[in-house]
Structure 1
């Protein structure tokens, strides 16, 4: 199964919708998750259907920000569990393999003061640990300093809170192929900022269910985020990108040396 996840940064212009239609036609995913649509649900439903996804769920934008949409093809058996301004949670029954798994599209809070509430939402919906679970989306946060280049240094506390919620939900980063960053601001070398804000994380049952998955960071044109393309049955999955992680602040912990 192919799944596209993309923070599109608004779909209010006909030209943007046409570009999205072209991309989805070329890739032909079974499920598409669109983040930050900046549209009312009725408007987004029209866009989703024009893109060939008759079935789906659309969440209103708040003013000129936010908005979520998840659509799926007719041959997909998808059932909605819950949704909010920050997430869409579904169960997918993959008839081709007879596999049942859970997919949560997530949009993390752009504002730091609202991030704790977003993390608590993930903890609240972590109610089916036995079901293979994938969370994919724009988390609006990095886990380690090497996931950011340029701009202000991210505080240790913010990254620790992100890593803590992943640990609490018993999910781990599933890696990627392609460029290391998923979001870019400014193009001049003097002020360029790049961060890995978009990712997929999954629990052990999901990783065991789909050992051949691949997550690609695709090139982007009309958004400052790149699309994520997940293929659950792509290949041997031996060329994912993994990074050794180390924070200098860990050296200050008394338990560091015994743990190492």
Structure 2
């Protein structure tokens, strides 16, 4: 099984960013790593990536201080053919060099703005119609589909739920769940820490 690691870092310029990436690589030995919400672009991205233990990369730059996706891999272990990218997504065909199986990875960091997320949902539907390979979609979709996925605040918007559920249905997506804290963002409000028992 190929070891893939995804990390929502919320800022690549944090003082411990590089050390944290190196620690994660040492502990998990990933062939492929996706880092989202890097909040970094331009020459600073190239400088940071060159200091990491991956020699293949594709970057979707952040817009100002929002977003950013890095797809990093080890070229001696896998071949990566990037199909397309926008500021919200990177799509690539992956072939592990020791295996004959190819598959698609979609690294996602969806916009906080609904209209832009709708463009992402349309792009995902297009990818689904163009390819018939196994497909892993991972990242931050910036959307909730049930009240249980949030604590407090306004009720969820059913129009937004219908948009992502339509995309999930057309793309034959299946949520594989998670482990760790149920809520990962608090808007600086105090929240009880809940864990998924799976």
* TM-score, structure 2 normalization: 0.86
Taking the aligned partners of 1:180 and 1:76, their CA distance within structure 2 comes to 33
**Offset of 1:123 from its aligned partner?**
1.8
How many positions carry a matched residue from both structures? 195
| 1:142 match | 144
Q: Secondary structure at the match of 1:39?
A: coil
Question: Following the alignment from structure 2 to structure 1, what is the Cα–Cα distance between the partners of residues 153 and 36?
Answer: 24
C-alpha separation in 2, matches of 1:187 and 1:156: 24
Return 5+ residue gaps in structure 2 as ranges. none
Partner residue of 1:109 out of 108, 111, 116: 111
| Superposed displacement of residue 187, structure 1 | 5.4
1:92-131 superposed matches below 5 A: 92-131=94-133
Aligned pairs (5 A) from 1:247-258: none
In the TM superposition, residue 23 of structure 1 has moved relative to its aligned partner by 2.3
- Paired with 1:44 and 1:184, the residues of 2 have a C-alpha distance of 28
Distance 1:176 1:5, change over 3 A: same
Tell me if structure 2 keeps the 8 A contact 1:77–1:95. yes
* Conserved 8 A contact 1:33-1:69: yes
Q: What is residue 12 of structure 2 aligned with on the other side?
A: 11
**Residue equivalent to 1:53:** 54
Equivalent-residue separation in structure 2 for 1:2 and 1:173 (angstroms): 19
Instruction: Name the counterpart of 1:20.
Output: 21
Compared with structure 1, are the counterparts of its residues 38 and 171 closer, same or farther at alpha carbon in structure 2 (3 Å cutoff)? same
Taking structure 1 as reference, are residues 25 and 185 closer, same or farther at Cα in structure 2, changes over 3 Å only? farther
Task: Return the offset for 1:91.
Answer: 0.7
Structure 1 or 2, whichever has the larger Rg, is 1
Please, what is the CA RMSD of the aligned residues?
2.4
Q: Which has the higher contact order (CA 8 A, sep 6+)?
A: 1
Unaligned runs of 5+ residues in structure 1 are 195-216, 218-239, 242-260
**1:194-214, Cα deviation, whole Å (9 max, x unpaired):** 8xxxxxxxxxxxxxxxxxxxx
How far apart in 1 are the matches of 2:151 and 2:97? 42
How far apart, in 2, do the equivalents of 1:45 and 1:126 lie?
31
Is the Cα contact below 8 Å between 1:41 and 1:59 reproduced in 2?
Answer: no
CA contact (8 A) 2:41 2:61 kept: yes
